[in-house]
Amino acid sequence: MGKQLDKMLERINKNEVMNTYRKHGTSSMAYLEICEVTKHFPGGVVALDHISLSVEKGEIRAILGENGAGKTTLMNILYGLYQPDKGKMILDGKVLQGHTPQKALNLGIGMVHQNFMLVEAFTVLENILVGLPPPQPLLLTSTRVEKRIRELSRKYNLPVDCQARISDLSVGEQQRVEIVKALYRDAQLIILDEPTAVLTPQEVEVLFKVLKEMAAQGKTILFISHKLKEVCSISDRITVLRAGKVIGTIPTSEATHHKLADMMVGKEVFLKLERPTCPSGKIVLKVSELSACKSRGVEVLKGVSFVVREGEILGVAGVSGNGQLELAEVLTGLIPATRGKIILSGKDITGSLPRGRIDAGLAYIPGDRLRWGCIPDFSVANNLVLKSFWKDPFTIHGLLQPQKIVGSAQRLIREFDIRTPSSKVEVKKLSGGNIQKMILAREMSLGPSILLAAQPSRGLDIAATEYIWQRLLQTREEKKGVLLISEDLEEILTLSDRIIVMYEGRIRKEMPNENVDINKLGLLMAGAEIG
């Protein structure tokens, strides 16, 4: 009876699949078929609006789109983290029903998240086994597991040390562990969410070779990225989403950067900004032998020295975790320096509190805009005066002046093109790009002599990135200094006049941004010795 029921359900499933294909005019079954998938979120937000697309087995498909276009929501539905309101998903001829992450894993869907899902205190072997059913002692031993991992490593050129602790691995090595973990679970469809965000150019090159080898072995890859150059070099076809809808799917051989940008944004975007010659002036920031410790007395900055001049952008390049965050925190007074000096416009601010540094002329765009750059539950107007509300004209005789605050906010909203229905709207309701514009507007309204911008375009779409970059160049032209800390090499190379490379809390090299060898830059970021 059980076998007959299974066969009947299988026939029903196949009939449902074929009816779905006929409805959408598809004559042959693709490996993955997404049909009219729709998803709403509270507040009337339409995240996905009747999304349909098909992916062939062994294909590398890129998914492009601005912030809020629906890329991550679609992938989370495919991985079982969200449930669609409408529509169907068909994988290898099977309709996905009651989809959950566990069912996704059982069906061969693996996902490598942008922020790796690894336990740092565990070994590589332990991380790969996390979440799997308890092993049968006689059927699954650590020796057999290691053997299987070695086989996968050789097959896909993904070398990993099973006994190494995650905390001791580089970012590139951790990413390899994530991919091996998916392969160990026999994933046939692998989703990679912004997989190159924290890699050096050399690690990106290695990753792309691995992905092409996996596709050649029959694996299907969904590659989410906002980097047009990378998308065009790795994918077979590119699907562009905008405002929750599929704008189109084109073969990569027919794609150009401008065509893709137009599809993503819906208007012309200038992908290459000019950095006009701008003679630098006097030194505005001088950092000498700066050192600092963080938790457990571990030294995170080790004798860092550099200068920033008026009318220049100094770029700080490096892989995440090599002291860039701590450098920003020491410069802004969030953690103390243990040694060295910080001189801003001729004034020693090494021991100053954050407010004293603001008054001395330091403006700051933090790397995490929601956590450190604003108060999400406050209005736009109140966020715009967070660093000046106690001053005239916003406070007179100890009393806040709401009309002055709103008037100033309305002026900055116009000047910095902050898209908001009102200055009274809570910041958490704005897009990432508009929050970043608001932070930039607040910092520049202080009239600083130097702007410290940490990851200013992280997570932003093409249009918002272009706007932020133009504003940073404008700040430079206004004879202010800019210290740009970024893990995005395109951003560093587009904006910087000079570049310093940080590795393990030290400056490895300083160089002018004139015909920089990107391979050499990547090797320096990875700690290699370069003459």
- At residue 12, does pLDDT exceed 50? no
Q: Name the more confident of 271 and 127.
A: 127
Q: What percentage of the chain has pLDDT greater than the value 70?
A: 90
- At residue 63, does pLDDT exceed 60? yes
The Cα 261–Cα 270 span in angstroms is: 9
- At residue 129, does pLDDT exceed 90? no
The Cα 113–Cα 111 span in angstroms is: 6
Segment 485-513 shows an average pLDDT of 92
Query: Model confidence at 465, in pLDDT bands (50, 70, 90)?
Result: confident
What does the pLDDT read at residue 156?
A: 83
Query: Model confidence at 255, in pLDDT bands (50, 70, 90)?
Result: very high
What does the pLDDT read at residue 294?
A: 79
Query: Model confidence at 116, in pLDDT bands (50, 70, 90)?
Result: confident
- The upper half-sphere exposure of residue 499, i.e. CA atoms within 13 Å in the direction of its Cβ, equals 27
What does the pLDDT read at residue 26?
A: 43
Helices (H), 402-488: 402-415, 432-444, 462-477
- At residue 211, does pLDDT exceed 80? yes
- At residue 20, does pLDDT exceed 50? no
This model's pTM is above 0.85: no
What does the pLDDT read at residue 352?
A: 95
Number of CB atoms found within 10 A of residue 452's CB: 24
Query: Model confidence at 477, in pLDDT bands (50, 70, 90)?
Result: very high
Contact 198, 127 (CB under 8 A): no
Contact 409, 402 (CB under 8 A): no
Q: What percentage of the chain has pLDDT greater than the value 90?
A: 50
What does the pLDDT read at residue 226?
A: 75
505's torsion region: left (phi>0), alpha (psi -120 to 50) or beta? left
What does the pLDDT read at residue 134?
A: 63
What does the pLDDT read at residue 267?
A: 67
The SS3 of residue 225 is coil
pLDDT tens for each residue of 158-177 = 888 899 898 887 777 888 89
Mean pLDDT of the chain: 86
The Cα 219–Cα 214 span in angstroms is: 5
What are 274's two structure tokens? 């000019």
The Cα 145–Cα 129 span in angstroms is: 9
> Judging by DSSP bridges, how do beta strands 299-309 and 399-400 pair with one another?
unpaired
Segment 519-527 shows an average pLDDT of 83
pLDDT tens for each residue of 381-420 = 999 999 999 999 999 989 999 999 999 999 999 999 998 8
Segment 362-367 shows an average pLDDT of 94
Beta strands in 281-436 (DSSP E): 283-293, 299-309, 313-317, 339-344, 347-348, 362-365, 395-396, 399-400
Q: What is the DSSP letter of 275?
A: -
Q: What is the 3-state secondary structure (H, E, C) of 76-117?
A: HHHCCCCCCCEEEEEECCEECCCCCHHHHHHCCEEEECCCCC
What does the pLDDT read at residue 190?
A: 93
- At residue 80, does pLDDT exceed 50? yes
What does the pLDDT read at residue 481?
A: 96
What does the pLDDT read at residue 14?
A: 46
CA angle 75, 80, 81 (to 5 degrees): 80
Contact 489, 521 (CB under 8 A): yes
The Cα 244–Cα 38 span in angstroms is: 9
- At residue 24, does pLDDT exceed 50? no
What does the pLDDT read at residue 157?
A: 80
What does the pLDDT read at residue 99?
A: 86
- At residue 531, does pLDDT exceed 80? no
What are 139's two structure tokens? 């059927």
- Closest by CA to 276, choosing from 313, 235, 230, 232, is 313
- At residue 33, does pLDDT exceed 80? yes
Contact 466, 269 (CB under 8 A): yes
Query: Model confidence at 333, in pLDDT bands (50, 70, 90)?
Result: very high
The Cα 206–Cα 213 span in angstroms is: 11
Sign of CA dihedral 233, 234, 236, 239: negative
Q: Which amino acid is at 11?
A: R
- At residue 113, does pLDDT exceed 90? no
Contact 292, 337 (CB under 8 A): yes
- At residue 37, does pLDDT exceed 70? yes
Q: Name the more confident of 132 and 79.
A: 79
What does the pLDDT read at residue 335?
A: 93
The Cα 297–Cα 277 span in angstroms is: 43
- At residue 27, does pLDDT exceed 90? no
